[in-house]
Structure 1
Amino acid sequence: MVKHAFALATSALLLSGTAFAAPAYSITTLSPDGTTRWTHLNNAGAATGYLGGQGYIRAADGQLTLIPQLSDQPTAITAFGDNGAVGLMRVEEGPPQNVQETGLWRNGVVESLPTLRTTPDGLGYGVVNRISGNGLLAGTSAVNGGFYDDYGNLIPYTHAATFSNGQVHDLGTLGGNFSMGAGINDNGIVVGFSLDADDRRRSFIYRNGAMQDLGLADNYYAFDINNAGQVLANSGTSTASAVIWQEGETTTLSQPGYSFSSASAINNRGDVVGRLFAPGQGGAGFLYSDGEIVLLAGLLDQPGWTIRDVADINDSGTILGVGCQGSDCSWVLLTPVPEPATYGLLGTGLALLALAARRQRRAS
């Protein structure tokens, strides 16, 4: 009887996961917009961002950890991993804004990254753009060769790359001189974009030792991939919406009444966050889940908020973004709260278990 009751309770909870739409969210204020900018959110609930131009990690409990600067100069955060590793990059001010220094900060130490460029001209660098859940690194490396910009500065060519054990691995291009690795999953599959032989920008997926064109329009760039192989790509224009690509099939993230969408991140459950844009209006944060797009403002458990921008989502569904009450805006965390019905079903299941236990004791 106990086993039977447990099965009933479990079945009820499983059904509750499919019977309801996207969960409601509680909202927690992190910091006023403008004084701080948060960029990445990992599965431990920690975020990276900037306070007064300096990089920080904000732990789930709110504790701040200072991220070191490269050569004591303003340093950009390029990636953040579940293991706390942070990708770092420093560029020179003004044109041509060449990358001057890069590194990976983990376990309290800044590690230099290898490069594919062997020409001794100081323009060689490798940049980590994404860290997978299990710590794999994908990004970009300068290679030999380059071109001169309008100011006469040499800009090096770059290739998509992965980094491991102090080595850099060249992923090549789709025929042109430039490519960039923008996302990687736990299986080591990399996505990004590359110039082809006709200098068209094309989105790619790199797996099994080969780079494959995704077949999206030239203006699209793939930048994120989850462990299910779902690839997220933006158009980079105000005329076309973000898409999810999976094995040749695409899903357009569009909504009636809005001109286009721009996505920010996809998690391993297939949830996507981003912004919808209407003519003459700013962005409105959205969540795509179970095949539906919902405005995040309508999912909050506190009235009066709008979600103006969205930066990231982790596997638990926690969302990092900018929330506003009128003109008063702040960086916020949106945390899923259980549906009331879930509590009811859980209570029913526990009651069945208790009843079965009492009956078993009487019979013994």
Structure 2
Amino acid sequence: MLTPRRAAGLLAAAALASAVQAAPRYPYKVTVLVPFTPGQGSGVANMINDRGLICGFLSTNAGYCYSHGKLTQLIPLPGDTWAIPSGLNDRGQVVGYSYSLDGPRHAVIFVNGAAQPLAVSSHAYSVANDINNVGQIVGGLSDVQDESLAYLLTRGTVRLLGTLGGPRRIDFANSINDRGQIVGAVSQPNTPPEPGYQVAFLYENGVMHALPTPAGHTSLATKINLRGQIVGVTQVYNGGIEGTRAVLWHKGTMKVLLDRVADARDINIEGQVVGGYLTGPGGYLYQPGKGARDLNDLIDPASGFTIGYPQAINDRQEIVGYGCNENLCGPILLKPVRDGHGADDSD
């Protein structure tokens, strides 16, 4: 027999269950990596590999790497002041550059947190921007002021990637995948000899190709994944920041990811892209077939966090960047909320 008291209990339980089901679920949860500070914040997280190693730089300009709750500050070359990480692979190898105020940059690889010179470090200027799981490194080097040549470094041997015939050499490689495909930007042919006139390139099988770029635009490729999908930006010639769009290149075609002023900074194996808005704080996550969503819509507003901008995403869908909680800011990690079937991307 259902007594009034038991009936009331069942009704209360049903109401609670309904409230739980109605509560919104957010796909990501924010973790603070370095204690937040006021103003510009304590730093930013720039990259993350598939084992959860995170690297970036602090507000003091010092580079760091973070793993399993431990932060290691990177040590520059002797005589330099700062060391900044620019790329890492899943083996935990980290590359970047070492420099001093008003001094040249020197491409380095970090061994136990300390910068070690690379074969390109003997040039007047050099940076290492990425390293793949084979150990190949790409970046830019130069012996002439205000110029740069894109290079590939393999087992100590340096190969210059060449040019597309532009009037001025402001060329650099940004990313390399495990198939040896390289992307970056080179001086654009048939344009004035000014640094801003560049076009995104794909280098594979020893040949450099310009990526599709709308007429009257410059372009830059920032990252390439193992499937050969490339992300970056296009910008109207002399159009200012308002003419910048985040784009995806794949199999000879170009796609604009969202209709607002934004860039594309990283792409994972699933084709998920993160980037930042360029006319204000915030950023987005682009998912194939679903389009772009504001990252601040993917975290619980009750947490008090806001995403200033994202920087990178790994194949586990973890995202790193910069965020704030009221007037305190710093490096953050966004971890997917799991529901037993992977990341929860429900609305």
Task: Give the TM-score normalised by structure 1.
Answer: 0.74
Task: Note if 1:105 corresponds to 2:110.
Answer: yes
* Counterparts in 2 of 1:243 and 1:89: CA distance versus 1, 3 Å: same
Deviation at 1:164, TM superposition (A): 1.3
CA distance in 2, matches of 1:242, 1:342: 27
Matches within 5 A, 1:253-332: 253-255=257-259, 259-276=260-277, 282-291=280-289, 292-301=291-300, 303=302, 304-332=304-332
Deviations 1:209-264 (CA, angstroms, capped at 9, x unpaired): 10001121442111110111111112363223110011221121214xxx311222
Aligned twin of 1:175: 165
CA distance in 2, matches of 1:53, 1:69: 11
Contact 1:312/1:320, CA 8 A, preserved across alignment: yes
CA distance in 2, matches of 1:302, 1:112: 45
CA distance in 1, matches of 2:180, 2:63: 28
CA distance in 1, matches of 2:46, 2:341: 34
* Pick aligned residue for 2:32 from 1, 13, 29: 29
CA distance in 2, matches of 1:181, 1:53: 23
Contact 1:87/1:128, CA 8 A, preserved across alignment: yes
Matched residue SS, 2:101: coil
Give the aligned CA root-mean-square deviation in angstroms.
2.6
Contact 1:113/1:125, CA 8 A, preserved across alignment: no
Matches within 5 A, 1:206-217: 206-217=203-214
* Counterparts in 2 of 1:253 and 1:197: CA distance versus 1, 3 Å: closer
Deviation at 1:302, TM superposition (A): 5.4
CA distance in 1, matches of 2:256, 2:292: 11
> What amino acid sits opposite 1:313 in the alignment?
I
Contact 1:253/1:261, CA 8 A, preserved across alignment: no
Aligned twin of 1:246: 250
> What amino acid sits opposite 2:200 in the alignment?
S
CA distance in 1, matches of 2:148, 2:75: 26
> What amino acid sits opposite 1:103 in the alignment?
V
Contact 1:82/1:134, CA 8 A, preserved across alignment: no
Contact 1:220/1:235, CA 8 A, preserved across alignment: yes
CA distance in 1, matches of 2:319, 2:70: 18
Matched residue SS, 1:49: strand
CA distance in 1, matches of 2:233, 2:328: 29
Contact 1:27/1:302, CA 8 A, preserved across alignment: no
CA distance in 1, matches of 2:305, 2:334: 12
* Counterparts in 2 of 1:197 and 1:216: CA distance versus 1, 3 Å: closer
Contact 2:146/2:170, CA 8 A, preserved across alignment: no
Deviation at 1:208, TM superposition (A): 1.2
Task: Note if 1:224 corresponds to 2:223.
Answer: yes
Aligned twin of 2:17: none
Aligned twin of 2:16: none
Deviation at 1:108, TM superposition (A): 5.9
Aligned twin of 1:350: none
CA distance in 1, matches of 2:123, 2:146: 7
Deviation at 1:319, TM superposition (A): 0.6
- Identity, in percent, stands at 30
More deviation, 82-91/259-268: 82-91
CA distance in 2, matches of 1:341, 1:138: 37
Deviations 1:297-329 (CA, angstroms, capped at 9, x unpaired): 222245243212111111100011223344443
CA distance in 2, matches of 1:328, 1:54: 19
Deviation at 1:49, TM superposition (A): 2.3
Task: Note if 1:185 corresponds to 2:177.
Answer: yes
Task: Note if 1:64 corresponds to 2:71.
Answer: yes
Deviation at 1:87, TM superposition (A): 1.7
CA distance in 1, matches of 2:337, 2:86: 30
CA distance in 1, matches of 2:112, 2:158: 21
> What amino acid sits opposite 2:206 in the alignment?
G
Matched residue SS, 1:241: strand
Contact 1:123/1:156, CA 8 A, preserved across alignment: no
CA distance in 2, matches of 1:284, 1:137: 31
* Counterparts in 2 of 1:23 and 1:192: CA distance versus 1, 3 Å: farther
Task: Give the TM-score normalised by structure 2.
Answer: 0.77
CA distance in 2, matches of 1:329, 1:182: 28
Deviation at 1:112, TM superposition (A): 2.2
Deviations 1:64-116 (CA, angstroms, capped at 9, x unpaired): 2232211242222222222222223234534xx543x3321135664422239
Task: Note if 1:157 corresponds to 2:147.
Answer: yes
Deviation at 1:35, TM superposition (A): 2.2
